[in-house]
Structures are given as C-alpha cells and as structure tokens.
Amino acid sequence: MRILVVRTDFLGDSVLSSTFIRMLKQLPDVQIDILCYEYNFAAFQYNKYLDNQYYLYKIPVSSEEKLNNHQVLQSLEQNKYTAVFMLNRDFKTYKLLKHIDSPRVFGHRLGVKSIRSKMFCRFTSLSLKYNYLEYDNSIHEVINQFNLLKFGLRILNIPNTITLDKHSYFYTENFDPEEYHQKDTETIVVNISGRRDTVRYIPSSLARVIIEDLVKLGKKVLVIATNDELVRASELLSQFDSLNVSLYTDGDLFNIADTMAKYKYYIGADGGLLHIAASLQMHCIGLFHAQNIEAWHPWSIHQICVQTPTKKIYDLTADNVIKAFKELEQNYD
C-alpha cells in the first residue's frame, strides 16, 4: 500500500501527527508520504517512518518557490496512492486533491461551516472516493486521528490491528526520541516566547515568580526566548544570578530542539514548542489561556496542563505552576 497523509496546519498540530504516521506504520508493507506546507515541514523533515516528504509554499512569491510548487504537484500527479488521509479540515487543502491520483480519500468533515464547504462535502460524498467522519471537539486531536484511521481501514477492508500510540515524537537530524537519552533533571527549561495574538506566552511578571520559585527549590533555569523576545528576556534575566538562570536563543528550530532534548523538564505556554518538548520525551507543564486542554494538550503521559476557571493565562499564579511541577516530579518518574 502507498498512503499519502496531508497536513498543512501549524507546527504544534503537525507534531501531533507523528502519532498518526507511527500508527499507520503498524500496517504491513505500507509506504507513507506526507504533503505539508513550508511552515510546518520541520515536523516531518527527519521522521524516519516517512518515505517521501513533499512541501508546498502556501503563498509562493519567488520564482524558486513557484518552481518548487510546480515540481511537487507534478510528482503528486504521477504517484498512485492506495488512499489519502486528510488531517486538515479546510477547503483550500481539499482543493489540492485534484493533483492526487487515489481512489479513496478519508477525512473529517470540514471545520468551517460555510455554504461552500457544506456543498463540497455534500456533493463529494455522493461518490465512493470521498469518505467523511465527523470530528469530535470533546476528545483529543490524536484520538480523532486514531478514529479516522480505523474508519479508513474498515472501508478499505483491512483488518484493524492498530493500537493507539501514547506519545508523539519529534525527530531531528541528531536526536531520536525513541532511543534512551540521559537527561539533566536539575535544570528546568522555561520558554517565555510564544504567540501574543492568541495569548500563548508567559507574561514577564508570571515568568519572574516562576523562576524565583524554581531557584528556591534548588533548581537552575534555562530560559528559551526567540529573537523578538530578547529585550524582554534580558530584562528578566537581569534580576537573577547568572549562575542559576541562563538564556538560550537560536533562530534554528532544530538547534533549539537539540538543546531542549538534553533536559527533562519544560514549562511553557500552549504552542508549537510545548508539543515539540513533549515529543522530545521531556516532562512538560503547559500553561493554557482559552484553548481546549482536553483536545490539545501535549500527547504524552508525562505532562500536566494548568488553566484557571476564567481561562485567562493572566490569572495563573506561580503557585499553580510550581504545584504542577512538584506533582510531575514526584508522580511521573
């Protein structure tokens, strides 16, 4: 069998798809290709279970980007797939299917309830090619992926021997999360960066007290900050002894991942780096704003997510975070 998996979401969502790929690989004699965009390609670049990785530029600008898209679509048109699994639920991604030769397409019904999306699902459902499963917002994204895989196997008349994978995995050129790695337990990674537009970052006042309390526990702290957060990070670190609190920043995502993978504990707001940390087999504390924890927590048995009843990250206290860290340290080792 040759299967194409399509995932063009954000990086964190794409990291969760590593479980889907690993579950697919439980099938005998299966070849798996991925189609994604350039901004989430890192989630798949070094995945050892993929045979081919194709990425498109969502909005190609340069001649090189346009040429890349042309060549990728040409390759897809020449490949013959047993089935395509769509892990996105948007109309633009489904339009890519006109370039893909496969008798079966499996996906969840489109998430945007526009008239165009509804009509697309209604008309394509009339053929045997398109097969839709309802998406359940009350359960985790990985469970929805697992259910979609079982749904597809049933229609393809393939015996279902798939077991649910309990971890997501992020691979780098130098790090394989499936191998045993000795990790530093005395230094806690605290990521203060994130997406401010959706309040997925740790405010400075909260970060300062979290770091203070970790130092009081006898821990060292490695602060992760992106280049656009260096001023805020420098102001934060100026309040601490450099022997206990240090800063790490790098524009290369894989360098960041390789550095984080050396450590056991991670604290950060919901976002791509939180999912990557869990997929590096770090033990994670996730700070959530208004997002649905049940549906989007890191896919790992070594994680605790904290959120206030108000679902506002500004209402979280360092006590909430430190309490979760102590529980993680005591009960998840």
Query: Which pLDDT does position 61 carry in this prediction?
Result: 96
Closest CA to 165 of 1, 49, 79, 65: 49
Query: Which pLDDT does position 109 carry in this prediction?
Result: 86
Query: Which pLDDT does position 112 carry in this prediction?
Result: 67
Query: Which pLDDT does position 12 carry in this prediction?
Result: 94
Query: Which pLDDT does position 42 carry in this prediction?
Result: 97
The values of phi and psi at residue 307, to 5°, are -155, 140
Rounded to two decimals, the pTM is 0.95
Q: Which residues contact 271 (CB under 8 A, 6 or more apart)?
A: 12, 194, 195, 200, 201
Three-state secondary-structure class, residue 226? coil
Distance CA 9, CA 37 (A): 8
End-to-end CA distance of the chain: 39
Q: Which residues contact 299 (CB under 8 A, 6 or more apart)?
A: 16, 19, 140, 141, 142, 166, 167, 168, 275, 278, 279
Three-state secondary-structure class, residue 185? strand
Query: Which pLDDT does position 333 carry in this prediction?
Result: 63
The domains of the chain, with CATH numbers, are: 2-155 (3.40.50.2000), 184-331 (3.40.50.2000)
The values of phi and psi at residue 214, to 5°, are -65, -40
The values of phi and psi at residue 132, to 5°, are -110, 145
The values of phi and psi at residue 115, to 5°, are -60, -40
Integer angstrom CA distances of residue 318 from 43, 98, 210, 216, 237: 31, 51, 5, 13, 17
Query: Which pLDDT does position 332 carry in this prediction?
Result: 67
Integer angstrom CA distances of residue 166 from 18, 142, 232, 278: 11, 9, 36, 11
Integer angstrom CA distances of residue 207 from 7, 39, 253, 261, 269: 33, 28, 22, 21, 11
Query: Which pLDDT does position 302 carry in this prediction?
Result: 95
Cα angle 100-102-107, degrees, rounded to a multiple of 5: 90
Average pLDDT along the chain, 333 residues, taken 10 residues at a time: 96 96 96 97 98 96 97 95 95 91 93 76 86 94 97 95 95 96 96 90 96 97 94 94 94 96 97 97 96 94 95 95 95 70
Distance CA 327, CA 304 (A): 9
Q: How far is CA 34 from the centre of its chain?
A: 15
